[in-house]
């Protein structure tokens, strides 16, 4: 539950809470979650709108909040979300809702933006409330409505050759009220991530851990395996086709010899799309299957066998019922 104006945790006390990671598509939210948790939970691709559901990743650790202070032990439950974007289909409306509604019931929000790649005027750089980019404005409004503390992380600073370009961005954002801290980071290089976690830890309420220390995520192996298949589709299919795909894990058989046999189906919207997913002589679906199998084996830490099929669910991205049936439904 949100807690405002909580006193900073006393030295030695344990804190625990939840943080929603919000931002437009492709700013690196999933990459950051994986980096913080140290495991690949959320799939990542160069294409926007790869993430469709919320995914929880649990961080446990002990950090001194200020230099010289006694370290604070704590747990942060991070919630990765689909990017906030102007919705074009029924599916993307679900995704934006899934992202913004995460604000209900968390203790703090981490908003992620990208560092500018060149000199100003850079995208994502506000000069006043009026010119605040639409997406970020929507996020900030929700955060303020929910009266939550928020931290801003400026990601991908590794791409910035001239680091002085960061300064005006940080200055511009710091003139805006809501952020408790602004932290430049690189999720891929790991730069600034500890500082970021420290800032967030300072916002967490006192209390015992929400998950036991071995738990990394709330998602099942079955869900994560389906996501790894979807990641391969996002990496290999072009144009709009990735957005027309969903993956259903139909069968999951743990065998006595310690391996797993998985049957999964790639759903597409049209017969012509199925042709592309299967590929010439079945080449595409074989490649996707082989790459996914390797990733799933790594995830599970035991051998996986994957039988992958393709199937048409006509216009499923516009059908609320099919969208829900394919695993995209609001949870409580
Ligand atoms: P999301 O849509 O916000 O979850 O973004 P992803 O985590 O899927 O990342 C989108 C793309 O940005 C991927 O190609 C990532 O490899 C890339 N990316 C993420 N973080 C960084 C970073 O710190 N530096 C650079 N150069 N690329 C990054
Ligand atoms: Mg993502």
CATH code for the domain in which residue 268 is found = 3.30.300.20
Calculate how far, in angstroms, residue 223's C-alpha sits from the geometric centre of ligand 1: 22
Could you give the number of structural domains in the chain?
A: 2
Counting residues of the chain whose pLDDT is more than 90, the rounded percentage is: 80
pLDDT in tens, 189-238: 999 999 999 999 999 999 999 999 999 999 999 999 999 999 999 999 99
Whether the pLDDT of residue 150 is over 70: the answer is: yes
- Alpha-carbon distance values, 234 to 45, 128, 191, 242 (Å): 7, 36, 27, 5
Same domain, 159 and 260: no
Confidence of residue 260 (pLDDT cuts 50, 70, 90): very high
- Nearest residue (by CA) to ligand 1, atom 10, is 26
**Confidence at residue 4, expressed as pLDDT on a 0 to 100 scale:** 45
17 phi and psi, to 5 degrees?
-175, -175
Same domain, 150 and 260: no
| 264 vs 262: CA distance, rounded Å | 6
Confidence of residue 161 (pLDDT cuts 50, 70, 90): confident
**Confidence at residue 178, expressed as pLDDT on a 0 to 100 scale:** 80
- Alpha-carbon distance values, 283 to 42, 277, 278, 288, 304 (Å): 26, 9, 7, 9, 20
For residue 227, tell me if it sits in a domain: yes
Ligand 1 atom with the smallest distance to the CA of 44 is: 8
Q: Bridge-partner residues for 248, per DSSP?
A: 265
For residues 43-63, average pLDDT:
94
Ligand 1 atom with the smallest distance to the CA of 159 is: 26
For residue 208, tell me if it sits in a domain: no
Calculate how far, in angstroms, residue 29's C-alpha sits from the geometric centre of ligand 1: 7
- Nearest residue (by CA) to ligand 1, atom 12, is 28
Ligand nearest to the CA of 111: 1
By residue range, what is the domain housing residue 39?
14-201
**Confidence at residue 120, expressed as pLDDT on a 0 to 100 scale:** 57
Same domain, 305 and 236: yes
Pocket, ligand 1, Cβ cutoff 6 A: 23, 25-31, 44-46, 50-51, 83, 155-156, 158-159, 186-188
Calculate how far, in angstroms, residue 261's C-alpha sits from the geometric centre of ligand 1: 31
Same domain, 142 and 258: no
Confidence of residue 175 (pLDDT cuts 50, 70, 90): confident
Q: Which domain-ending residue is among 167, 201, 235?
A: 201
For residue 215, tell me if it sits in a domain: no
pLDDT in tens, 87-139: 889 999 999 999 999 999 899 999 999 998 776 554 445 444 445 788 999 99
Confidence of residue 261 (pLDDT cuts 50, 70, 90): very high
Are the C-beta atoms of residues 216 and 57 closer than 8 Å to each other? yes
Average pLDDT of the chain is 91
Confidence of residue 321 (pLDDT cuts 50, 70, 90): very high
Burial per residue of 72-107, b for 16 or more beta-carbon CB atoms within 10 angstroms, e otherwise: bbbbbbbbbbbbbbeeeebbbebbbebbbebbeebb
Same domain, 48 and 194: yes
Confidence of residue 9 (pLDDT cuts 50, 70, 90): low
Calculate how far, in angstroms, residue 214's C-alpha sits from the geometric centre of ligand 2: 24
Q: 247, 205, 204: which is closest to 223 by C-alpha?
A: 247
For residue 1, tell me if it sits in a domain: no
For residue 274, tell me if it sits in a domain: yes
Task: Tally the residues of the chain.
Answer: 332
**Confidence at residue 108, expressed as pLDDT on a 0 to 100 scale:** 98
**Confidence at residue 8, expressed as pLDDT on a 0 to 100 scale:** 56
For residue 206, tell me if it sits in a domain: no
């Amino acid at each position: 539950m949100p807690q405002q104006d909580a006193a900073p945790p006393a030295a030695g006390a344990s804190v625990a809470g939840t943080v929603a990671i919000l931002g437009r598509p492709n700013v690196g939210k999933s990459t950051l979650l994986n980096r913080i948790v140290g495991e690949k939970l959320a799939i990542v691709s160069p294409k926007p709108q790869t993430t469709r559901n919320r995914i929880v990743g649990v961080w446990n650790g002990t950090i001194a909040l200020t230099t010289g202070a006694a370290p604070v032990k704590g747990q942060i439950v991070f919630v990765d979300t689909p990017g906030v974007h102007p919705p074009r289909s029924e599916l993307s409306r679900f995704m934006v809702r899934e992202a913004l509604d995460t604000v209900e019931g968390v203790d703090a929000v981490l908003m992620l933006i990208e560092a500018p790649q060149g000199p100003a005027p850079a995208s994502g750089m506000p000069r006043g409330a009026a010119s605040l980019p639409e997406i970020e404005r929507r996020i900030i409004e929700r955060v303020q409505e929910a009266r939550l503390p928020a931290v801003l992380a400026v990601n991908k600073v590794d791409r910035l050759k001239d680091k002085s370009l960061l300064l005006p961005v940080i200055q511009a954002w710091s003139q805006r009220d809501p952020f408790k801290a602004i932290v430049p980071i690189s999720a891929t290089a790991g730069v600034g991530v500890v500082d970021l976690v420290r800032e967030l830890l300072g916002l967490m309420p006192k209390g015992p851990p929400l998950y036991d220390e071995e738990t990394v995520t709330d998602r099942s192996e079955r869900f994560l395996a389906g996501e790894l298949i979807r990641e391969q589709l996002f990496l290999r299919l072009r144009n709009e086709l990735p957005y027309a795909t969903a993956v259903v894990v139909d069968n999951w058989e743990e065998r006595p010899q310690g391996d797993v046999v998985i049957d999964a189906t790639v759903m597409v919207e049209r017969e012509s799309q199925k042709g592309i997913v299967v590929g010439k002589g079945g080449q595409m679906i074989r490649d996707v299957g082989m790459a996914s199998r390797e990733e799933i084996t790594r995830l599970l830490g035991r051998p996986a066998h994957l039988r992958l099929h393709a199937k048409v669910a006509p216009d499923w991205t516009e059908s609320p019922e099919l969208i829900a049936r394919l695993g995209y439904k609001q949870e409580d």
